[in-house]
Every structure is written in structure tokens, then in C-alpha cells.
Amino acid sequence: MRKEPLLISLSQSSRTFILSTIAVSSPYFLSSKGLDPIQISIIVLFSLALSTFFLYLYTIINMGIKQKLLLLSILLSTALFILLYFQSVFAFIASIIIGGISLGGRDFATNQSLEKYTISTYTEVQKEKNFLFSIYNFLSYGSGAVASAFLFLIPPDSFLLIFEVIFLISLIQIIIYLILEFPEMPVKEGKNEKNDDINVKAKKEIFTLSAIFSLDALGGGLVNSSIISLWFDVVYHTTLSQTGFIFIIVNIITAFSVIISSFISGSIGLVKTMVYTHLISNVFLFMVPVFHLLPLSEIFLFLRQSTSQMDVPARDSFINSYFTREDRIRANSSFLAARNGGQIPGPGLAGLFLEVFPAGVFMAGAAIKISYDILFFIKYRHYRT
């Protein structure tokens, strides 16, 4: 295995550690500053809207892959330094703006579409591509588990330590981007009737998939890491350490499940892997709040995570196989924007649910995500890899 995809995966892992740590700890940090669940949900919503704006903005900026990745990583480190230095609600909001930080707990940064395109150029063999994306996602979720363990082990309300650690880890990205060589941005061939037909077809498929993925993201916005963390705080009054322990198990289960995903997709195909595993996870998601007992809520959350993210490497491989090399960056960027944008209403709705019917956070999220599974399968069930 080449070192380049491993280094790119390490870059993703460092970013995941930062985003996971902020997502889980931010409700507790903001609560310590006197904010209530509605206000915290609004800040989460704001972060998702802003990160979506940055996705569109950075997509249209005409820069090479390496230059763009370096710019993004420097902005993230700058934002985290501001948060470390001032440690206030205003500094928190400023860091979100400067770094384009999403509090959803998932990595929807522009970096991801460029990294995935780069990985896709290393091989056109489907099984090898599936494996590379599984490693990319495995290390990401493994990093999320490490972040959760970090939050579990540190003393309560150690926000200064949290901000110091995530700032230092953000520097890893800059180092990796400096030492790696990246492919040139793909250039389309000159215009002719055949190429125009292909381009129109690709645009239609990107639009259709963006709409379908945004539905899944809407459900995901209701149950992102910050909202789950806030839900356990509101419903069961868990501490940051207790919530950190929950997310240790969540991320360990998820990390190993994405490795298994490549074997499943090699056996039954990418589309069936995406749909079947995701559908099962959403049934468990619906059950999380049903019995209103902390141990049972944790068990159903863990069961949900056992298959919840198996669709991610399969989806990455599907996108980077379904579209030609020339269309992959555009497709990945469009889908990231659609998924990020689709999340935006979720935290606001979750905040309302938390005030009047907390169980609705998981029930509504599950129902929406099941609708996505059905629509995607109807549309792409005939695709073969």
C-alpha cells in the first residue's frame, strides 16, 4: 500500500479528532457560559450554515489542490488559536466563522472532496478503491474514538486543555499538506456534441443525488454529535466525561464497522451495502429514546452505530466509480455541500424537540433517514459494480 493514501487518511483523522472534540464538548462549554439548549442549538445550526457557505465559496476559488488544502488548514489553525487565546462565546463564534467549523461532529470540510479525489486517482481497480476508502474512513472514526477517550479521561470542564490539544493537532494537517504532492485539477476535453451530452448527463445525476443525499443529511442534522451530546445532557443529565465515554464506544464500533463494509460491498455490491446496513441502523436509531432508561438508550445507540456508517466507504466508492475522473471533484463537492446544507434545519428542529418532546429528536431523524434509504434504492438498485 502506498504511503500517500495513508498520509491523506492521517490528515482526515487529525481533522476528525478536532471536529469530534468540539462537537461533543461544545454544548458543555456553551452551557458553562450560561447558554440554554435553544441558544446552543442555534449556534450549532449557524455553524452548519456557515460551513455550507464555505463549501460553495472554496469550490469556486480557482486554486490548485495543494494550495487550497494549505489555505483551509491554516485558517482552521488560526481559528483554533483564537479560541484558545480568548475562550469566550464570542471567540467561539469567531473561530467557527474563520475556520468554517461545523459542530455536527462529521467532517464536511472542502478538504474532504479534494482528498477523496486524490485517493481515487491512485487506482481504478474497484476492490482496491473500496479498501482505500475503508481505511480512510476507519482511521477517521478511530480518531473520533481517541477524541472521545480524551474527553473521558481529562478532568471536568478542562476547556483550556481541550483547546490547547486541538490547536496543536491542527498543525499536523499543515505539515502533511506541505510534504505531499497532489494531482493536477482535472481539465475537461474541448467541447463537442458527445462531451456536451456526457456533461449534461453528469449534471442531472449530480443534481438527483444531491437532492437524495440532502434528505439523509436532514435526518442526520437532527442526530449529529452535538445534538446527541446535548440530548444526553438534557434527558439524563450526563457529565462531559460520561458523554465522552459513550462516544468512545460509539466511535470504536463505527471504526471497525467501516472496515467490514469493504468486504460486504465486495460480496453484495455498493448500493445494497449502502441501503441495507443504513436501514437496519435507522430502526435502532428510532429505538434510542423509547424506553427512557440510560442503559437501554446507550445500547440502542451502540447497535445503531454497528451499521450506521457502513454506507460511508461504500458511498465514497460509488461516487468515485459512478462518475468519470473529470466529474469527481465537482460531484464530491456538490454532495458535500448538499449534505452540509441539508443538515442546517436539523439542530433548530432538535432544539424545539428538546423543549417539548425530546424523544422526537431520534424518532424524526430515523423516519427521515429511512425515507432516504428507500428513495436511493428505488433510483439506483440496478447499478452494478
pLDDT of residue 127: 80
Give every residue of the chain whose pLDDT is below 70, as ranges: 1, 108, 186-198, 385
pLDDT tens digit sequence for 24-39: 999 999 999 999 988 9
d(CA 198, CA 214): 24
pLDDT of residue 380: 92
Closest CA to 185 of 320, 65, 72: 65
d(CA 140, CA 282): 22
Half-sphere exposure of 100 (CA within 13 A, CB side): 21
Cβ proximity of 246 and 26 under 8 Å: no
3-183+205-380: what CATH class? mainly alpha
pLDDT of residue 187: 59
pLDDT of residue 194: 46
The number of beta carbons lying within 10 Å of the beta carbon of residue 278 is 24
pLDDT of residue 48: 84
pLDDT of residue 114: 87
Phi then psi dihedrals of residue 230, to 5 deg: -65, -40
CA distances to 177, 201, 332 from 109, in Å: 15, 26, 11
Cβ proximity of 184 and 287 under 8 Å: no
d(CA 169, CA 162): 11
Half-sphere exposure of 211 (CA within 13 A, CB side): 7
pLDDT of residue 125: 80
Rg over CA atoms, the chain:
20
Closest CA to 151 of 298, 9, 256, 23: 23
Burial of 68 (0-12, 13-18, 19+ CB in 10 A): buried
Cα 336 to chain center, whole Å?
9
Cβ proximity of 43 and 30 under 8 Å: yes
pLDDT tens digit sequence for 268-282: 999 999 999 999 999
